[in-house]
Amino acid sequence: MDQPNRVDSLFIHMFLILFFICLIFVNYIFTFKRQILLIEDGKGKICLIFWKISQIGLAKKLSVKKISLLDISEKLKISKSTISIVLNGRGDEKRVSKETQEKIVKYANEHNYRPNQLARGLSRGKSETIGLIVPNISDTFYSRIARRIERKARLSGYTVVYSSTGESRTRENELIQMMLDRQVDGLIIASTQKNQEDVVRLKNQQFPFVLIDRHYPDVETNFVVVDNAGGTSKAVEQLIKLGKKHIGFVTLKPGLEAIRQRLIGYEETLKKYGLYEGMKNVKELDPDHLDCEMMEAIKSLVQSTHKVDGIVFATHYLTTQGLRELRKLSVKIPHEIAIVSFGQMSFFDLIEPPITSVNQPVEEIGDKAVEILLDNLVEKKLTYDQQYLKTKLEIRKSCGKN
């Protein structure tokens, strides 16, 4: 009879261990701290006893009951309208006594009162939300702008929701509609420039929006862009000052207005100094095939009989890929070829040689976009605010600085 008893005891122990593991899991899910005891009774059987000691800090915070205006009203015997006025910061304006205001604010703070933002927005006829649509939020240029927009909007009481189009016209169309369905108060858009129809629709419906970085020349709208032609001109002139006479330009295939303007700046500056050699030193790459096309472009520029002595890259990511190919070919920068990037990357001043760049005023782009949008949310404007911001040439060792 001893053997069956031992088997039963082993089974009970295994069952209790499994039960104990399940309890730990449940405890974790519900974020409770519990103490568990295993004791032996007078008959040699294991008994399980547990009790709750305390809740951890996070659970304690989350378990606090949310109170409403009605709760405060019933407790303090003050009307809901008066409480709403005070908690919206209009107590003095509506001549509510200081004593009453202090009483309401103190009770609300002590009991963790939080206003219902959705109801608050609906009562005001707005959601206090701004939609931001960009091509790629992971791109350093757009992520920096997004952070600035978020900061500026938050200071004015707005939340920003954003998403990326991946340069897809269809995706941009879907995102604009999604943002409208979410009842955002306004939009800030870095468009694919393949979606003029939606931009015209927003304009015709007088929906507040601002275009950034890219705009549609044929559609009059609010926008904030940089002086792309002027920025490229600064880059080319710096190379000319160093005595460079054969300057290449690595860019993207036509499609974006900003890219078109950068090509114009390159061409006009070379013509101004009598150095324009036509399109033979211009390499227009397909964004979907940059790796292979960059390799061929760089080889063409540095290994031909009429090789270049300077290169301007039209974007920061083209510069990054171009540098990789130049190093594969053991090209010495700036001794053999000097280079300038339109656009900055955080590591440009950390590599050897540090890269000269045309820096865009990212913070100003974000600030201006929010300011223009908020102005249009306050009142409908009869004219459009169109901002062309200046760039700054940061000269480093890749192009003229010792």
Of the pLDDT bands very low, low, confident and very high (cuts 50, 70, 90), residue 255 is confident
User: Whole-model pTM above 0.75?
Assistant: no
pLDDT digits (tens, 9 = 90+) for 170-194: 999 999 999 998 889 999 999 999 9
Matching fold, domains 69-115 and 228-360+392-399:
no
> CB under 8 Å, gap of 24 or more: what pairs does 10-18 form?
12/45, 12/46, 13/46, 16/46, 16/48
Please say whether the beta carbons of 203 and 157 come within 8 A: no
pLDDT digits (tens, 9 = 90+) for 6-24: 545 666 666 666 766 766 6
The residues with which 312 forms a beta bridge, in sequence order, are: 249, 340
Question: In CATH, what is the architecture of 228-360+392-399?
Answer: 3-Layer(aba) Sandwich (3.40)
CATH fold of 69-115 reads 434 Repressor (Amino-terminal Domain) (1.10.260)
Q: Where are the domains of the chain?
A: 2-62, 69-115, 126-224+363-388, 228-360+392-399
Q: Which two tokens stand for residue 341?
A: 């990037």
Of the pLDDT bands very low, low, confident and very high (cuts 50, 70, 90), residue 401 is low
Question: In CATH, what is the architecture of 126-224+363-388?
Answer: 3-Layer(aba) Sandwich (3.40)
pLDDT digits (tens, 9 = 90+) for 73-91: 888 999 988 988 888 777 8
Please say whether the beta carbons of 56 and 26 come within 8 A: no
